[in-house]
Amino acid sequence: MLIAALTLLVVALGFAIFVDRYGDLREAGIEARFPPEGELIDVGGVDVHVVTRGTGPDLVLIHGAGGNARDFTFQLMDQLTDRYRVFAIDRPGHGWSDPIGKAASPAAQARHLAAALRRLGAKSPLILGHSYGGAVAMAWALEDEAAGLVILSGATMPWPGRLRRYYRFFGSEIGGAIGAPLIAAFASEARVKSAIEEVFAPNPVPPAYFQKAAVPLALRAESFRENARQVKTLKPHVTEMAERYPGLALPVEILHGTKDTTVRAEIHAVPLSERLPNAELTLIPGMGHAPHNVEPDTVAAAIDRAAKRAGLR
């Protein structure tokens, strides 16, 4: 029995070393394919990756869970740079931005990102937040200066029930320690593309989105682990934030697809619009969770409306 136990231990250790080394090789290849597009801003010894383009009033684009700045540089950003100075940022622990602590709250992320943009001269910007980024945008308005908000398919309100087991497992200490390295080593491109199709449904995924949005960056062990932790701990944060939403008087444009099954409009967008004193709600018929990559013109128009209401245009 002792020999069997020792043999099993040696095999387990060997497998763990193999997973770690193979995962490191895959991550190195991913990072070589998708280097930073912008600059790394040091905030208290922690890097924030920011892509800056255009001239005009300041506009910040905040991506959702598992994303990065390229989700916006893919196509939406270029439709805005003729009239805004646009900042597309990697949230902490995503893309090329360093994490700021385990399961960083939307408020902590907002404060950190605001500090980075102040280093670039941005003050009281217009802020767009997509999905999880919608919670960070709301937190930004509660914690710092903002001229106005565009909440795009935003996860901004408490929801009934529990999260999927996927996030409960990978967001746990054990799941993060064991599962994230396995994902980094063995997650197949086909499975990831299938997950993206589920997010975009019922709309088609734009051609070359997988590459141009640098989706594989989310498969690195640290990024995967941090994303799962942030999603797992989001609900209590938005529950507390929602109590303070009625005190926000700034202009808010809320866009949400009627066919979004990732973040449902009736749970998030509609009640959010009822809590905010200066919000305009636009429900996009037949739209899934990614309007900015399916109908970027519709999103750009909402940004312009928010800018006009905020006195920026």
4, part of any domain: no
pLDDT tens digits for range 191-249: 889 999 999 999 999 999 999 999 999 999 889 889 999 999 999 999 999 999 999 99
Cα–Cα dist 148/156, whole Å: 16
Lowest mean pLDDT among 159-163, 275-279, 296-300: 159-163
pLDDT at 15: 44
Q: Which domain holds residue 303?
A: 34-309
pLDDT band at 187 (very low <50, low <70, confident <90, very high): confident
pLDDT band at 123 (very low <50, low <70, confident <90, very high): confident
pLDDT tens digits for range 67-82: 999 999 999 999 999 9
25, part of any domain: no
26, part of any domain: no
pLDDT at 18: 46
Q: Quick check: 59 pLDDT over 70?
A: yes
297, part of any domain: yes
Question: DSSP characters for the chain?
Answer: -HHHHHHHHHHHHHHHHHHHHHHHHHHHHHHHHS--SSEEEEETTEEEEEEEE--SSEEEEE--TT--THHHHTTTGGGTTTTSEEEEEPPTTSTTPPP-STT--HHHHHHHHHHHHHHTT--S-EEEEETHHHHHHHHHHHHS--SEEEEES---S--SS---HHHHHHTSHHHHHHHHHHHHHH--HHHHHHHHHHHHTTSPPPTTHHHHTTGGGGGSHHHHHHHHHHHHTHHHHHHHHHTTGGG--S-EEEEEETT-SSS-TTTTHHHHHHH-TTEEEEEETT--S-HHHH-HHHHHHHHHHHHHHTT--
23, part of any domain: no
18, part of any domain: no
Q: Quick check: 19 pLDDT over 60?
A: no
| The residue count for the chain | 313
pLDDT at 131: 98
Region 177-184: what's the mean pLDDT? 75
227, part of any domain: yes
Tokens linked to 163: 């999260």
CATH number of the domain encompassing residue 245: 3.40.50.1820
pLDDT band at 52 (very low <50, low <70, confident <90, very high): very high
Q: Quick check: 49 pLDDT over 80?
A: yes
Domain count, the chain: 1
13, part of any domain: no
Q: Look up the pTM and report it.
A: 0.91
43 or 187, which is more confident = 43
